[in-house]
């Protein structure tokens, strides 16, 4: 076999944890709390069938032609109004770029600003698949610990005395993996620090619309007075991830460069997907659909929280997210969640061990539990299994001590 001579940027791209999770999800007999999938049962299949059928039956040659990289005009216009009304983000249409999912938005933003060795501050833990992007740009990480109010911005401030990140990446609302949100005070402080220390903020917000209770928090973008926030949105968790439609909002100089970068990558996001999303929104389906899926997700979240209280031993602590798709559990220090996963899989249950989400060696006793893509009955059953295993492992450590 000849050597591949891969580029340096590929070295950090392999991600065994995600691959293994995807393999687990393929097995129908597994109760999986592992993925970050929205519930397929909640997809608006009937509406999409009708809308897509209508689009296809009236299809014009124009839809089949190459189209502007920025995106489908009507969808951009809709988004400008939606962001203003729902998120208090006042944005001109030329500040919006349609992307093939927010994953692409994140990749393009990193491509624009990060050279090898540039410093990137991240919440620690953070979104697993963002590492694939960050590693491919060979960044140097500045990990910032989190608590129950999100990223510890005071620790970022301390770090800024000796470090100079170009970008701070945050999933500020219903974070993946913890489900926690950055509180309002820290949001203000983060923006203040961005001005003072001249860095950009990438606000990745695919879960912001999935709120089940509590007060709405202002997006960083809505508080941004100096154009420092690059905002990433997505229809993946609100309508359907398979359509691959997301968007990026940034001040015009950045948005224009993002458009040029996207042109080189995929020319534009699928016209058909953009039109389906637009028609769904234009028909007024989005808000009722969000209300419907939020009701379902709230039920599932509550089922998981109740099951955690019923079956997990008192030594385990977990988050109580007001929205999003994840709960984060913290096991006693001497319980390794990777070992727990192996035992759980042999009893038909999966989750993601915590250390996959960290820069550096942490999180071995933590776990991410997704509640969106499993029925309430199976959530109860699966959490019971994991709870039993944790109790067994705690007993074993007591006996061997």
Rank residues 101 and 165 by Cβ distance to ligand PLP and give the closer one: 101
| Residue 236 is a binding residue for ligand PLP (CB under 6 A) | yes
* Euclidean distance between CA atoms 180 and 270, whole angstroms: 33
Q: How many residues bind ligand PLP (CB under 6 A)?
A: 13
* Euclidean distance between CA atoms 295 and 290, whole angstroms: 8
| Residue 103 is a binding residue for ligand PLP (CB under 6 A) | yes
Rank residues 102 and 178 by Cβ distance to ligand PLP and give the closer one: 102
Annotate 227-243 with DSSP letters as a single string. Answer: S-EEEEEESTTTT-GGG
Quick one: which segment of 95-103, 331-339, 344-352, 359-367 binds ligand PLP (CB under 6 A)? 95-103
From residue 117 to residue 136, the character string flagging contacts with ligand PLP as x (rule: CB under 6 A) and all else as - is ----------x---------
Burial of 47 (0-12, 13-18, 19+ CB in 10 A): middle
CB 35 within 8 A of CB 228: no
Q: Please pick, from the candidates 171, 194, 341, 350, the single residue that binds ligand PLP as defined by CB under 6 A.
A: 171
| Residue 234 is a binding residue for ligand PLP (CB under 6 A) | yes
Quick one: which segment of 13-21, 100-108, 181-189, 257-265 binds ligand PLP (CB under 6 A)? 100-108
CB 269 within 8 A of CB 245: yes
| Residue 71 is a binding residue for ligand PLP (CB under 6 A) | no
Q: Would strands 200-204 and 229-234 be described as parallel, antiparallel, or unpaired?
A: parallel
Rank residues 36 and 382 by Cβ distance to ligand PLP and give the closer one: 36
From residue 189 to residue 208, the character string flagging contacts with ligand PLP as x (rule: CB under 6 A) and all else as - is ---------------x-x--
Query: Is residue 268 helix, strand or coil?
Result: coil
Quick one: which segment of 179-187, 234-242, 273-281, 346-354 binds ligand PLP (CB under 6 A)? 234-242
Q: Where are the alpha helices (DSSP H) in 172-251?
A: 184-197, 220-223
Rank residues 171 and 386 by Cβ distance to ligand PLP and give the closer one: 171
Q: Would strands 150-151 and 167-170 be described as parallel, antiparallel, or unpaired?
A: unpaired
Integer angstrom CA distances of residue 109 from 214, 237, 280, 357:
31, 21, 28, 21
Q: Which residues bind ligand PLP (CB under 6 A)?
A: 36, 101-103, 127, 171, 176, 204, 206, 234, 236, 241, 246
């Amino acid at each position: 076999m000849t050597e591949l001579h891969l580029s340096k940027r590929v070295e950090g791209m392999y991600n065994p944890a995600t691959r293994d999770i995807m393999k687990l999800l393929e097995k129908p007999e597994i109760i999986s709390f592992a993925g970050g999938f929205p519930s397929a049962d909640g997809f608006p299949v009937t509406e999409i069938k009708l809308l897509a059928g209508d689009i296809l039956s009236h299809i014009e040659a124009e839809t089949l032609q190459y189209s502007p990289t920025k995106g489908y005009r009507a969808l951009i216009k809709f988004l400008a109004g939606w962001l203003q009304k729902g998120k208090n983000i006042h944005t001109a249409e030329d500040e919006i770029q349609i992307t093939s999912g927010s994953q692409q938005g994140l990749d393009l933003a990193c491509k624009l600003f990060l050279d090898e060795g540039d410093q990137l501050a991240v919440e620690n833990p953070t979104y697993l698949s963002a590492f694939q992007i960050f590693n491919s740009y060979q960044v140097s990480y500045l990990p910032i610990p989190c608590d129950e109010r999100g990223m510890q911005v005071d620790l970022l401030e301390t770090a800024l005395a000796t470090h100079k990140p170009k970008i701070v990446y945050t999933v500020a609302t219903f974070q993946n993996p913890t489900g926690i949100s950055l509180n309002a005070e820290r949001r203000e402080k983060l923006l203040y620090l961005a001005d003072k220390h001249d860095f950009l903020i990438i606000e990745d917000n695919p879960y912001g619309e999935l709120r089940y209770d509590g007060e709405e928090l202002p997006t960083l973008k809505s508080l941004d007075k100096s154009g420092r926030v690059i905002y990433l949105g997505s229809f993946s968790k609100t309508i359907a991830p398979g359509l691959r439609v997301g968007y990026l909002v940034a001040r015009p100089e950045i948005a224009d460069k993002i458009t040029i970068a996207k042109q080189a990558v995929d020319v534009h996001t699928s016209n058909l997907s953009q039109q389906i999303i637009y028609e769904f929104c234009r028909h007024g389906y989005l808000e009722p659909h969000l209300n419907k899926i939020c009701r379902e997700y709230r039920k599932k979240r509550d089922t998981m929280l109740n099951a955690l209280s019923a079956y997990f031993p008192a030594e385990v602590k977990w988050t109580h997210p007001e929205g999003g798709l994840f709960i984060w559990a913290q096991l006693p220090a001497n319980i390794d969640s990777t070992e727990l996963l192996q035992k759980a899989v042999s009893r038909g249950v999966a989750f993601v061990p915590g250390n996959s989400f960290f820069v550096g060696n942490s999180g071995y006793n933590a776990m991410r539990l997704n509640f969106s893509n499993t029925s309430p009955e199976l959530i109860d059953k699966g959490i019971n299994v994991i709870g039993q295993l944790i109790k067994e492992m705690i007993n074993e450590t007591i006996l061997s001590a």
